[in-house]
Each structure stands twice: as C-alpha cells, then as structure tokens.
Amino acid sequence: MRILIVEDEKALAKLVADRLTRDHYTVDISNDGEEGLDNALSGMYDLLILDIMLPKKNGIEILKEVRKQDKEVKVIMLTAKAELEDRLLGFGSGANDYVPKPFHIDELAARVNAQLNIGKAVENVLEFGDIILDYKASKLRCKESDEDVGVNNKEFQLIEYLMSNSDRILSREMIYDRVWGMDSEAVSNNLEAYMSFVRKKLKIIGSRVSIRTIRNMGYKLEYDA
C-alpha cells in the first residue's frame, strides 16, 4: 500500500517515512502544499498524512480538494494545532483521524495500520490461491505444503500488490510507481530482478501460484488449481 506524507518539516517527514517503510508501505513525501495537492490528486495513494500548517497551501485546503474527487482515500491530519475547533474543522472537512504534535512515532504507525486494516483478514494476512502473505511475520506461506519463506521489503510490496490486484494485468509503470515510488532512481532491471526473486520463493514453498508475463502489457498473478 502507498502513503503520501505532506509535511514541511523535512526531518520529521523522513522519520515518519522510515518508520512506515518498516511496515512495508511505499511512502512518498511532499514538503509544500501545492506539490502535496498535485500528488494527493493523482489517485495513487491509499492514505494521506497531512500537516495543517504548510507553505503555499494548508492541509485543510488540500483535504477539501481531495474530498471533491476521492471519498475513499484515508486521511490523517498531523499538526501542532490541538484545539477542539481545529480538530472539528479537520473532521468536518473529511479527515479520518487527527494526531496532534508532538506524538510518538509508534502511535502514528499504529493509527496508519488501523486505517488501512480494512479489507485484511483478522489474522492480518492476505490470501490468493494457495499462498498466504503474513503482514506481521513478513513471510510467504503455502497452505498446501505448509512451507514458508521470508520476504524482504520490496519483495513484500511486490507480491502484496500482485495479490491485491489478481483480477487484472499490472503494467511495469504501475508496479514501479507503486513499489518504488514516483521519484525512485531504480534502474530498469530492478523489476525483473525482484520478479525473479519472488518467483523463486513461490517455487521454494511449493506453491501453484505463478507470475505470468504478458507481452507488451505487464504482469498478472495466476493460480493453477
């Protein structure tokens, strides 16, 4: 899943991004309101973390513009303003949660996880065919063989994206944007390398799930039942 942080305190934004990356999220950062709004309106994000006090355009303005277009994306307001009227303004504009500064980084991570937990199984896993992706243990397991294997952060994000979109073909560009981020300097062979890593791990655990390469279109997860 992908998160956008709109925060002008660069050190804080990086701290939050680093913490959320540990939970297997792809995280982008915008340091001013105008850039933040452009990115937020791209439709690429599952959750936005918006500071209220931002240069060029404040977080409430961003939130209002986003809600005109997208009613589903989760939004957490992150701000030094803790007065009741400010919280009510944020919720009234469509925020899902509100975290006043200063905050504990693990509390923010827990709130993000809570907002994005909708759609996951109670056990905090994702399933497709005969495989189970365990969010807590960072492991991929085959239900039939009961074998499991650890997956690193990029492998986790790649297989999660494929499993969550098993009903459609994902282009190379879509996968790059989702897993590596818009501003990534990843070289073009990174995707093929990680596809190879995940394919090998599917074989290791004895799964009948495969990643099909569709020429000139992209990739799709398939299960040989």
pLDDT tens readout for residues 142-178: 999 999 999 988 899 899 999 988 999 999 888 887 7
> Does domain 2-116 sit in CATH 3.40.50.2300?
yes
Residue 121: pLDDT band by 50, 70, 90 thresholds?
Answer: very low
> Does domain 125-223 sit in CATH 1.10.10.10?
yes
Question: Chain-wide mean pLDDT for the chain?
Answer: 87
Alpha helices (H) along 82-171: 84-92, 105-116, 153-164
The pLDDT of residue 4 is 95
pLDDT tens readout for residues 43-93: 889 999 999 889 999 999 999 999 998 888 999 998 776 566 666 676 778
Q: What percent of the chain has pLDDT over 70?
A: 90
Alpha-carbon torsion (171, 177, 180, 184), positive or negative:
positive
Alpha helices (H) along 51-126: 59-69, 84-92, 105-116
Residue (of 87, 91, 51, 84) closest to 67 by Cα position:
91
101 vs 73: which has the higher pLDDT: 73
Would you call 158 helix, strand, or coil by DSSP?
A: helix
pLDDT tens readout for residues 189-210: 788 899 999 999 999 999 999 9
Distance CA 26, CA 179 (A): 6
| Domains of the chain, residue spans | 2-116, 125-223
pLDDT over threshold 70, residue 124: yes
pLDDT over threshold 50, residue 122: no
Q: Hey, what are 63's tokens?
A: 């939130």
pTM listed for this prediction: 0.67
Q: Hey, what are 36's tokens?
A: 């933040």
